[in-house]
């Protein structure tokens, strides 16, 4: 707008002297008028530049005021949490700043890798999460084995008769690859000095009638008797030797004849889901997720750990709630089959004993007649197996421990015991 006004003013000034010039203005007069107009234009130009400068200054002042106000109001976003199994890079949370996310090895990021703090004080993009890369996606376990996904690895739970990292190896490989003729072979013979001929058999073979070397069947010879048996579990005869084999869930030890339980929980070879607890048992594992009792007669329980429930505070007038157990804990005990008895399976005590006596009792379960509870000292009770338990079987028993002071009940605790008895005696 300003330049237009300036031009209009200039023209109107110019028009007056020019009008008169048509009558009688001298050349000098015209030149003087033009000089005046030039001066006028120059002064307008200077004023214009000054106006623009002032305008610029005001704009800068306004900008800095806005920025100052912004920082005063602390325009930041709340620092986002890193995803589980991942990390957050960057800590600046002011508007316009970015944070980045990366996942641990073996995990894949979904959501936004980079998020920016926006004007409205929220983060751009989607919250990131790190998902375990499914190492089982390629179905690597052969012969119907169950694949268990791990971090950057997988393991296979093999069906009966198969072993190996991908269940590729038959448990009785030698029995399959050796036919009957492998068990007899020609002797090694050498001519003696006086025309005699001496023959001998390889280790593990013995000379039979007809001059052939026949394999010694170590399994048949020794395995059948309890006193001479050479393998803890199964014996497989081989040409010139033998081999011990363990059932599924066990590992053959370095001595080549005993079998030890494989701890699937410790070695992460289980398929328990995230909310379950893995319990190692002899020859296998179990996935458990015990539940607290449902609310009943003003009594409610909350889970304080995967294997523990605590009673919520009782309403003032509820005596049923006051009498209920303060806490319930879950215990899982693995036991080989047919162990000698009597045998103490479990001991119970209280860490905060304030009364003068403790009482122990079996409340219920299917272990009656095989399990008893008794006091071992003033502060300890124990669960004892009194009859041999032949597996596979699962026994459940609920034990109650009550604390008294001058015959007044102070509190109760319930131990819910599950005994997993294995199929084998090891």
The binding site for Ca ion (CB under 5 A) comprises 215, 237, 242, 261, 280
Q: Which is nearer to Ca ion, 222 or 404 (CB)?
A: 222
Q: Cβ of residue 422: shortest distance to Ca ion, in angstroms? A: 9
Q: Which is nearer to Ca ion, 261 or 403 (CB)?
A: 261
Q: Cβ of residue 252: shortest distance to Ca ion, in angstroms? A: 15
What's the rounded Cα separation, in Å, for the pair 342 and 360? 19
| DSSP letter string, 172-210 | -HHHHH--GGGGEEPPEEEE-TTS-EEEE--TTEEE-TT
Among 178, 180, 158, 181, which residue's Cα sits nearest to residue 170?
A: 158
Q: Which long-range contacts (CB under 8 A, 24 or more apart) does 167-174 make?
A: 167/141, 167/142, 167/143, 168/142, 168/143, 171/245, 172/236, 172/245, 174/236, 174/238, 174/243
Q: Cβ of residue 376: shortest distance to Ca ion, in angstroms? A: 29
Cα dihedral 347, 352, 356, 357, rounded to 10, equals: -20
Phi, psi angles (nearest 5°) of residue 287: -110, 120
Q: Which is nearer to Ca ion, 83 or 391 (CB)?
A: 391
Q: Cβ of residue 187: shortest distance to Ca ion, in angstroms? A: 16
Q: Which is nearer to Ca ion, 163 or 280 (CB)?
A: 280
What's the rounded Cα separation, in Å, for the pair 268 and 418? 22
Q: Cβ of residue 242: shortest distance to Ca ion, in angstroms? A: 5
Between strands 408-421 and 327-335, the pairing is: parallel
Q: Which is nearer to Ca ion, 215 or 403 (CB)?
A: 215
Q: How many helices (H) and strands (E) does the chain have?
A: 5, 29
Q: Which is nearer to Ca ion, 264 or 382 (CB)?
A: 264
The three-point CA angle 392-396-398 to 5° equals 165
Q: Which is nearer to Ca ion, 17 or 336 (CB)?
A: 336
What's the rounded Cα separation, in Å, for the pair 404 and 408? 5
Q: Cβ of residue 208: shortest distance to Ca ion, in angstroms? A: 14
Q: Where are the alpha helices (DSSP H) in 311-410?
A: 319-323
Q: Cβ of residue 138: shortest distance to Ca ion, in angstroms? A: 26
Q: Cβ of residue 281: shortest distance to Ca ion, in angstroms? A: 6
Q: Which is nearer to Ca ion, 261 or 400 (CB)?
A: 261
């Amino acid at each position: 707008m300003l330049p237009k006004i300036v031009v209009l003013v200039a023209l109107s000034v110019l028009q007056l002297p020019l009008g008169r010039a048509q009558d009688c203005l001298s050349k000098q007069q015209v030149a003087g008028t033009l000089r005046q107009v030039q001066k006028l234009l120059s002064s307008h130009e200077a004023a214009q530049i000054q106006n623009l400068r002032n305008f610029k200054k005001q704009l800068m002042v306004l900008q800095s005021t806005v920025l100052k106000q912004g920082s005063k109001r602390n325009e930041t976003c709340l620092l986002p949490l890193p995803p589980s199994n991942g990390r957050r890079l960057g800590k600046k949370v002011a508007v316009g700043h970015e944070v980045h996310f990366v996942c641990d090895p073996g995990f894949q990021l979904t959501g936004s890798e980079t998020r920016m703090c926006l004007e409205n004080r929220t983060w751009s993009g989607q919250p990131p999460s790190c998902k375990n890369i499914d190492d089982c996606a390629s179905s690597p376990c052969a012969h119907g084995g169950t694949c268990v996904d791990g971090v950057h690895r997988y393991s296979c739970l093999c069906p009966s008769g198969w072993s190996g990292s991908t269940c590729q190896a038959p448990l009785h490989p030698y029995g399959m690859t050796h036919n009957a003729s492998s068990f007899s072979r020609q002797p090694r013979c050498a001519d003696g000095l006086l025309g005699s001929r001496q023959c001998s058999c390889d280790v593990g073979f013995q000379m039979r009638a007809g001059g052939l070397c026949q394999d010694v069947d170590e399994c048949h010879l020794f395995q059948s008797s309890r006193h001479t048996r050479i393998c803890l579990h199964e014996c497989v005869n081989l040409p010139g030797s033998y081999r011990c084999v363990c059932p599924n869930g066990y590992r053959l030890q370095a001595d080549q004849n005993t079998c030890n339980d494989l701890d699937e929980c410790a070695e992460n070879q289980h398929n328990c889901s995230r909310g379950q607890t893995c319990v190692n048992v002899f020859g296998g594992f179990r996935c458990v997720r015990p539940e607290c009792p449902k609310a009943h007669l003003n009594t409610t329980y909350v889970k304080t750990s995967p294997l523990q429930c605590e009673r919520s505070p009782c309403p003032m007038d509820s005596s049923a709630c006051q009498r209920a157990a303060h806490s319930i804990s879950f215990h899982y005990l693995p036991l080989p089959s047919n162990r000698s008895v009597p045998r103490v399976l479990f001991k119970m005590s209280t860490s905060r004993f304030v009364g003068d006596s403790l009482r122990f009792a079996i409340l219920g379960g299917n272990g009656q007649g095989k399990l008893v509870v008794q006091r071992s000292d003033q502060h300890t009770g124990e669960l004892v197996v009194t009859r041999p338990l032949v597996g596979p079987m699962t026994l459940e028993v609920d034990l109650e421990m009550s604390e008294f002071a001058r015959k007044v009940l102070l509190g109760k605790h319930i131990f819910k015991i599950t005994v997993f008895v294995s199929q084998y005696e090891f």
